[in-house]
Amino acid sequence: MSLRNMIAHLGSVVASLMFIWAVFQQYFPYQFRSYIEKYSQRLVSFVYPYIQITFNEFTGERLMRSEAYSAIENYLSSTSSSQAKRLKADIVKNNQSLVLSMDDHEEVADEFRGVKLWWASGKHIAKTQSFSFYPVTDEKRFYKLTFHKRHRDLMIGPYLNHVLKEGRAIKVRNRQRKLYTNNGSMWSHVVFEHPATFQTLAMEPEKKEEIMEDLTTFSKAEEFYSRIGRAWKRGYLLYGPPGTGKSTMIAAMANLLGYDIYDLELTAVKDNTELRKLLIETSSKSIIVIEDIDCSLDLTGQRGKKNEKEEPEDMKDPRQKLTKDQEPKSSQVTLSGLLNFIDGLWSACGGERLIVFTTNFVEKLDPALIRKGRMDKHIELSYCGFEAFKVLANNYQKLESHNLFRRIQELLEEARMTPAEVAEHLMPKTVSTDPETCLESLIQALESAKEEARLKAEKEAKGEELPSQDQGKTTESQVLAEKTVGDENSVH
């Protein structure tokens, strides 16, 4: 057969096939074909023991993005990045981190309480009916869950709940976290990007572990709190001298738990009503911080004493020393207003919240504010010990050990120095400063601190009329306060 004949023969075969297809389309209408499909589906499900659930990306009349779909997407992101071969990447956290999810038509397996199940991703493509110069294919993505029918109850109840909860938690973790500050009764926010972590926090390892354990236990204790009928909140009081890492620890807490921070400036809050409004507006998974609670408001036990002395009106308000140059406004937030909120109304806002107070003078605070049950945990941040020093040496100089460490250990036992000061010495002054120079400068500083302490102790032992530094300041300020009534600098 010549080539020409062959081509002609092939052409007639194709033509006859096209004719048969056209006849089939004409004489077997759509209804009939769907009828066949329906029964074939039934036949398949009879021999196929699996149940499938489809979660579409868009639901409802207004085609809102389904929350379940996005929770599943997040939930599957970790499983799929290790199992699926084709992944989709997306950027979250203001272009900072990459999140992977499985591409269309991929399948991954998961296990729940020993039961295996499968997730597949897919998409329907519905051709748009309308004519357009820019034809858009209407892609409808979905996830399909497949499991054996004998696990129906486990899958529909506990497993799906688990997926949704985990998925939402991952979403929260991936979100851009915020630092809120209040300007009067309004919160404004900036992106929260503090690099502090518990790993870089200088502190004895056991104490650090205990705090981290406490925090993570709290963050997972939703069921426990609801069972015992308590609001899911926890109060921390951080106290210690300036520069011992109180603020740093708050940032580390937020980074550990993935919480937002609300830095509440009490002095800018007009009254209890405004305070309540601000606190109610805080979101779940957040840390509400009131720094230097002893100076923020007259919440210390000192108030009574001051009043007894009958100080002039403007001296009673410690805010005035903070806002020297500003127009004095009176903040009427009271201790009881704050306490009421911490105790009671708090329960009205669902979701976990931590409240953290910091102070340099724990002994000055009103006992009501810090009694057990109100502030659940009191954490003292103190002068730098050797363990804390080792963390700093590693942070700043990448030093695990050095022959000067022994000398530093001895000196730290004898001289008091805050982690902030130690860090200052360990910070390389220039790019070429070597670690040894930094350690030597620290040793020198510690030696002079030790010497100072020794001289002071000697003087005190001799009975000289030189009380301790703090007391000295108080006496001085008391004298000043008596002399210069109305001078705000004298209030201390």
Ligand X SMILES: Nc1ncnc2c1ncn2[C@@H]1O[C@H](COP(=O)(O)OP(=O)(O)OP(=O)(O)O)[C@@H](O)[C@H]1O
Binding site for ligand X (CB under 6 A): 201-203, 242-248, 360, 381, 419-420, 423
Q: By C-beta, is 203 or 369 nearer to ligand X?
A: 203
CB of 248 to ligand X, least distance (A): 3
CA distance 330 to 271: 9
Q: By C-beta, is 196 or 369 nearer to ligand X?
A: 196
With CB under 5 A as the contact rule, which of the stretches 23-31, 241-249, 336-344, 446-454 interacts with Mg ion?
Answer: 241-249
CA distance 265 to 326: 15
DSSP 17-81: HHHHHHHHHHHS-HHHHHHHHHHHHHHHHHH--EEEEEEESEETTTTEEPHHHHHHHHHHHHHHH
To which residue do tokens 């609300």 refer? 262
CB of 358 to Mg ion, least distance (A): 6
CB of 292 to ligand X, least distance (A): 7
Torsion, CA 366, CA 368, CA 374, CA 380, rounded to 10:
30
Binding residue (CB under 5 A) for Mg ion from 121, 247, 255, 397: 247
* 202, interface contact from Mg ion, ligand X, none, CB < 5-8 Å by kind: ligand X
Q: By C-beta, is 112 or 198 nearer to ligand X?
A: 198
CB of 415 to ligand X, least distance (A): 17
* 420, interface contact from ligand X, Mg ion, none, CB < 5-8 Å by kind: ligand X
Count of residues in the chain? 492
450 CA to centre of own chain: 40
- Residue 371 is encoded by which pair of tokens? 């009694």
Residue nearest ligand X (C-beta atom): 245
* 243, interface contact from Mg ion, ligand X, none, CB < 5-8 Å by kind: ligand X
Q: By C-beta, is 265 or 271 nearer to ligand X?
A: 265
Q: By C-beta, is 234 or 246 nearer to Mg ion?
A: 246
DSSP 339-382: HHHHHTGGGGS-S-EEEEEEES-GGGB-HHHH-TTTS-EEEE--
* 360, interface contact from Mg ion, ligand X, none, CB < 5-8 Å by kind: ligand X
In what helix (H) or strand (E) does residue 408 lie, and over which residues does it extend? Answer: helix 405-414
CB of 385 to ligand X, least distance (A): 10
Residue 418 binds Mg ion, judged by CB under 5 A: no
Q: By C-beta, is 246 or 319 nearer to Mg ion?
A: 246
In what helix (H) or strand (E) does residue 226 lie, and over which residues does it extend? Answer: helix 222-227
Pairing verdict, β 260-263 and 286-290:
parallel
CB of 244 to ligand X, least distance (A): 5
CB of 393 to ligand X, least distance (A): 11
Q: By C-beta, is 117 or 423 nearer to ligand X?
A: 423
CB-facing half-sphere around the CA of 15: CA atoms within 13 A? 6
Which residues are registered as beta bridge partners of 287?
Answer: 261, 354
With CB under 5 A as the contact rule, which of the stretches 32-40, 64-72, 143-151, 238-246 interacts with Mg ion?
Answer: 238-246
Q: By C-beta, is 243 or 337 nearer to Mg ion?
A: 243
CB of 242 to Mg ion, least distance (A): 7
CA distance 143 to 472: 72
CA distance 435 to 427: 9
With CB under 5 A as the contact rule, which of the stretches 63-71, 247-255, 327-335, 466-474 interacts with Mg ion?
Answer: 247-255
Q: Which residues bind Mg ion (CB under 5 A)?
A: 246-247
